[in-house]
Structure 1
Amino acid sequence: MNEKPKYTLRELILYFLKLGTIGFGGPVALVGYMYKDLVENKKWISDEEYKEGLALAQLAPGPLAAQLGIYVGYVHYNILGATLAGFAFITPSFLMVLLLGIIYQAYGGLVWIQSIFYGVSAAVIGIITLSSYKLTIKSIGKLNLSSFKEKWILWLFFTSVIVITYITEKEHILLFVAAGLVYMLIKARPYFKIAKTTNVLILISSGFWNYESSTLMKIAIFFTKAGAFVFGSGLAIVPFLHSGVVVENKWLTEQQFLDSVAIAMITPGPVVITVGFIGYLVNGVLGAITAALATFLPCYLFTIALAPFFKKIVNNKPVKAFVEGITAAVVGALVGSVIIIAKRSIVDVSTILIALASILSLIYIKKIQEPYIILIAAVLGVLIKLSF
Structure 2
Amino acid sequence: MATQASYSLTELVRYFLRLGTLGFGGPPALVSAMHRDLVAERGWIAENDYREGLALAQLAPGPLAAQLAIYLGYVHYGVWGATLTGIAFVLPSFLMVLALGWAYVQFEGLPWMQALFYGIGAAVIGIIAVGTYKLTRKTVQSDDWLGWTLFGISALATAIMETELLWLVLLSGGVYWLVKSPPQLIRFNAGNSLAPFLGQMLALPADSTLWQLALFFTKAGAFVFGSGLAIVPFLYGGVVKEYGWLTEQQFLDAVAVAMITPGPVVITVAFIGYLVAGFPGACVAALATFLPCYVLTVLPAPYFKRWGKHPGVKAFVDGITMAAVGAIAGAVVVLARRQLTDWPAIILALTTVGLLYRFKKLPELTVIGGAAIIGLLLRYVG
Q: Same fold (TM over 0.5)?
A: yes
- Residue correspondences, number: 374
Q: Residues 193 and 31 (structure 1 numbering): CA distance in 2 closer, same or farther, change over 3 Å?
A: closer
Residues 39 and 46 of structure 2 are in contact (CA less than 8 Å); yes or no, is this contact kept in structure 1? yes
How far apart are the structure 2 equivalents of 1:2 and 1:213? 47
Residue 125 in 1 paired to residue 119 in 2?
Answer: no
SS of the equivalent of 1:228 reads: helix
Which residue of 1 is the match for residue 348 of structure 2? 354
The one of 370, 377, 381 equivalent to 1:376 is 370
Partner AA of 2:282 in structure 1: A
The one of 142, 145, 165 equivalent to 1:172 is 165
Tell me the CA shift for residue 87 of structure 1. Answer: 0.4
The one of 319, 335, 355 equivalent to 1:325 is 319
Which residue of 2 is the match for residue 278 of structure 1? 272
Q: Residues 360 and 309 (structure 1 numbering): CA distance in 2 closer, same or farther, change over 3 Å?
A: same
Question: CA deviation digits over 1:311-358, x for unaligned, max 9?
Answer: 233211121122222222222222222111111111111011100000
Q: Residues 41 and 129 (structure 1 numbering): CA distance in 2 closer, same or farther, change over 3 Å?
A: closer
Which residue of 1 is the match for residue 175 of structure 2? 182
Q: How does 1:193-342 map to 2 (within 5 A)?
A: 193-194=186-187, 213-342=207-336
Higher alpha-carbon deviation: 185-194 or 85-94? 185-194
Question: CA deviation digits over 1:215-261, x for unaligned, max 9?
Answer: 11211121121122343421111111111111111111111111111
Partner AA of 2:130 in structure 1: L
Residue 109 in 1 paired to residue 109 in 2?
Answer: yes
Where does the alignment leave 5 or more consecutive residues of structure 1 unmatched?
none
How far apart are the structure 2 equivalents of 1:184 and 1:74? 29
How far apart are the structure 2 equivalents of 1:363 and 1:193? 41
Tell me the CA shift for residue 212 of structure 1. Answer: 6.1
Which residue of 1 is the match for residue 198 of structure 2? none
Partner AA of 1:122 in structure 2: A
Residue 100 in 1 paired to residue 103 in 2?
Answer: no
Residue 21 in 1 paired to residue 21 in 2?
Answer: yes
Which residue of 2 is the match for residue 155 of structure 1? 148
Tell me the CA shift for residue 181 of structure 1. Answer: 1.7
How far apart are the structure 1 equivalents of 2:355 and 2:240? 29
How far apart are the structure 1 equivalents of 2:257 and 2:158? 24
Question: CA deviation digits over 1:79-120, x for unaligned, max 9?
Answer: 011011100110011000111000011101111111111111
How far apart are the structure 2 equivalents of 1:310 and 1:52? 8
How far apart are the structure 2 equivalents of 1:279 and 1:214? 13
How far apart are the structure 2 equivalents of 1:371 and 1:193? 43
How far apart are the structure 2 equivalents of 1:309 and 1:302? 12
How far apart are the structure 2 equivalents of 1:192 and 1:384? 59
Higher alpha-carbon deviation: 117-126 or 331-340? 331-340
Partner AA of 2:56 in structure 1: L
Residue 43 in 1 paired to residue 36 in 2?
Answer: no
Residues 21 and 93 of structure 2 are in contact (CA less than 8 Å); yes or no, is this contact kept in structure 1? yes
Residues 273 and 281 of structure 2 are in contact (CA less than 8 Å); yes or no, is this contact kept in structure 1? yes
TM-score by length of 2: 0.91
How far apart are the structure 2 equivalents of 1:352 and 1:39? 41
Question: CA deviation digits over 1:130-185, x for unaligned, max 9?
Answer: 2222222222134xxxx2xxx32322222222222222223221222222222222
How far apart are the structure 2 equivalents of 1:329 and 1:43? 34
Where does the alignment leave 5 or more consecutive residues of structure 2 unmatched?
196-200
RMSD between aligned alpha carbons? 2.4
Tell me the CA shift for residue 302 of structure 1. Answer: 1.6
How far apart are the structure 2 equivalents of 1:313 and 1:375? 45
Residues 226 and 325 of structure 2 are in contact (CA less than 8 Å); yes or no, is this contact kept in structure 1? no
Tell me the CA shift for residue 35 of structure 1. Answer: 2.4
Question: CA deviation digits over 1:41-72, x for unaligned, max 9?
Answer: 33322233222222222232222221111111
Partner AA of 2:60 in structure 1: A
Partner AA of 2:146 in structure 1: I
Tell me the CA shift for residue 8 of structure 1. Answer: 2.2
Residues 162 and 233 of structure 2 are in contact (CA less than 8 Å); yes or no, is this contact kept in structure 1? no
Q: Residues 129 and 212 (structure 1 numbering): CA distance in 2 closer, same or farther, change over 3 Å?
A: farther
Q: Residues 357 and 316 (structure 1 numbering): CA distance in 2 closer, same or farther, change over 3 Å?
A: same
SS of the equivalent of 1:103 reads: helix
Which residue of 2 is the match for residue 68 of structure 1? 68
SS of the equivalent of 1:278 reads: helix
TM-score by length of 1: 0.90
Higher alpha-carbon deviation: 30-39 or 125-134? 30-39
How far apart are the structure 2 equivalents of 1:43 and 1:164? 44
Residues 146 and 176 of structure 2 are in contact (CA less than 8 Å); yes or no, is this contact kept in structure 1? yes
How far apart are the structure 1 equivalents of 2:14 and 2:69? 13
Which residue of 1 is the match for residue 361 of structure 2? 367
Partner AA of 2:156 in structure 1: V
Residues 225 and 321 of structure 2 are in contact (CA less than 8 Å); yes or no, is this contact kept in structure 1? yes
